[in-house]
Amino acid sequence: MGKVAVGVAVIGAAAVCAGAALIVRHRMRCSSRWARAMAIVRELEEKCATPDAKLRQIADAMTVEMHAGLASEGGSKLKMLISYVDNLPTGDEEGVFYALDLGGTNFRVLRVELGGKSGGILSQEFMEASIPPELMVGSADALFDYIASKLAKFITEEEEKYHPPPGRQRELGFTFSFPVMQTSINSGTLIRWTKGFSIDDMVGNDVVAELTKAMHRQGVDVNVTALVNDTIGTLAGGKFSNSDVAIAVIMGTGTNAAYVERAQAIPKWHGPLPKSGEMVINMEWGNFRSSHLPLTEYDHALDTESLNPGEQTFEKLTSGMYLGEVLRRVLLRLAEEADFFGDEVPPKLKIPFVLRTPEMSAMHHDTSSDLKVVSSKLKDILEVSNTSLKTRRIVVELCNIIATRGARLAAAGMLGVLKKMGRDIPTGGVPEKTVIAMDGGLYEHYTEYSKCLENSLKDLLGDTANSISFEHSNDGSGIGAALLAASHSQYLEDRS
């Protein structure tokens, strides 16, 4: 009996030792996985770093590219497009003006009533409609006839008080969010279609001329006085409500900036100098590139696999279309190399753009003690359940690293624009007030991003920071276009 008892004890001890060894091995494996995960996170943090010195280099590079783009067509990665807008709204505009906003598969018709200096915007009304899919690939006549018919319906149904006096035409600003080579304030030829449109007989033609012909066919007597894009519309909307607005920046799905330039500082401008002495420049700054930009392996891979490799580098680092996708790529590497979500890589995590920036924002803003929002987003989007609090904290840290880089780079871009305008340092003792009109869902809804952007620019400006402020200027593509129709009205001299 004694020998049996000893044998059982030995076997029991061996089992305990084996179990302990398994636990130790499991802990070591977990420990090495965690060490690997932390190494990946620290490497990302290092490569995304944006110290002030680097941001100043990026701002300087932006200024250099702006000069080059203004000097000659194709002289820079920045297109620095001449908008032909030389009169921004002053706030004195009066009367009823219209806007047509064709930004993609939906379009809007708006009417805005302006009351002059004391009245501001007295009333506004809009109608929205979808473009039928067959018209997106049909003929130019069919598309513009459909748009003009909706405009005709909108005008027919409006109250008599909005009707123009005898002998006057209604005036309209046309926001056309496709690549256009602008040739005057109210003309421009379509370079190519995007966003699912493909109407071959329209490419190379003047979009305003096509719309005007369609309006005539529909019996609509409206004069298109301004062809604009949404960034310039944002600038116009901002300027209408605050005369200190001089720059507009869109931070949304994509990003762009526009600003007021001295006409004499545009070597590639060969026309007569505008009376105002100023010209609004559409920078198309999403295409900015510099060797100083902090690019990671995730950015290089995203760019290579994108529809436009080598293009829109700045946009891919800063805008809402891409922030969530960069996060997905980091999480995928963590899952593959450090078993971040367990032994299996979540299949959903392999799908490009499955993790959108609004979801990233929601996780970044999660202030609950157990990070409930992070847990539910990982479960809903990636089908990952039972994540540890430690894992969820890392996800929030990754959101912070990626959003901070984007926001600080956007701030550096703005500093570059302020430098070009000579507004980054006080002149003559008293700094000139500059308001930056902002729009876009990323700026509006991703609070951590917008706070970081604003604080970073103020830090970079130092003593000049108090003279620079931000203002949310909503609906540049709608109200902004109507305001530009007003500031470029053919009847302006009659009113003065």
Q: Please pick, among 25, 42, 192, 495, the residue that the annotation labels catalytic.
A: 192
pLDDT in tens, 296-355: 999 999 999 988 899 999 999 999 999 999 999 999 999 999 999 998 999 999 999 999
pLDDT score for 495: 52
| Strand pairing report for 81-82 and 187-190 | unpaired
Distance of alpha carbon 63 from alpha carbon 51, whole angstroms: 19
pLDDT score for 104: 76
> Could you give the angle at the alpha carbon of 271 between the alpha carbons of 267 and 274, nearest 5°?
95
Q: Where are the alpha helices (DSSP H) in 383-468?
A: 389-421, 441-445, 447-461
Q: Where are the alpha helices (DSSP H) in 264-371?
A: 297-304, 313-318, 323-338, 357-364
For the chain, how far is it from start to end, CA to CA, in angstroms? 118
Residue 321 structure tokens: 């279309």
pLDDT score for 272: 87
Q: Please pick, among 83, 177, 319, 489, the residue that the annotation labels catalytic.
A: 177
| Rounded (to 5) percent helix, strand, coil in the chain | 50, 15, 30
Q: What averages of pLDDT result for each successive group of 10 residues across the chain (496 residues)?
A: 52 51 55 91 98 98 98 93 92 93 87 88 91 91 95 92 90 90 92 84 94 96 94 93 94 93 94 90 94 98 92 94 97 96 94 96 97 97 94 97 98 98 79 91 96 98 93 87 93 65
pLDDT score for 11: 53
Distance of alpha carbon 359 from alpha carbon 451, whole angstroms: 18
**Whether residue 393 lies in the annotated active site:** no
Statement: the pTM of the whole predicted model exceeds 0.85: yes
pLDDT score for 28: 54
CB 172 within 8 A of CB 97: yes
Distance of alpha carbon 246 from alpha carbon 435, whole angstroms: 6
Q: Please pick, among 86, 101, 206, 230, the residue that the annotation labels catalytic.
A: 230
Q: How far is CA 190 from CA 138, 154, 175, 451, in A?
A: 16, 26, 13, 37
**Whether residue 230 lies in the annotated active site:** yes
Distance of alpha carbon 423 from alpha carbon 246, whole angstroms: 10
**Whether residue 192 lies in the annotated active site:** yes
pLDDT score for 38: 95
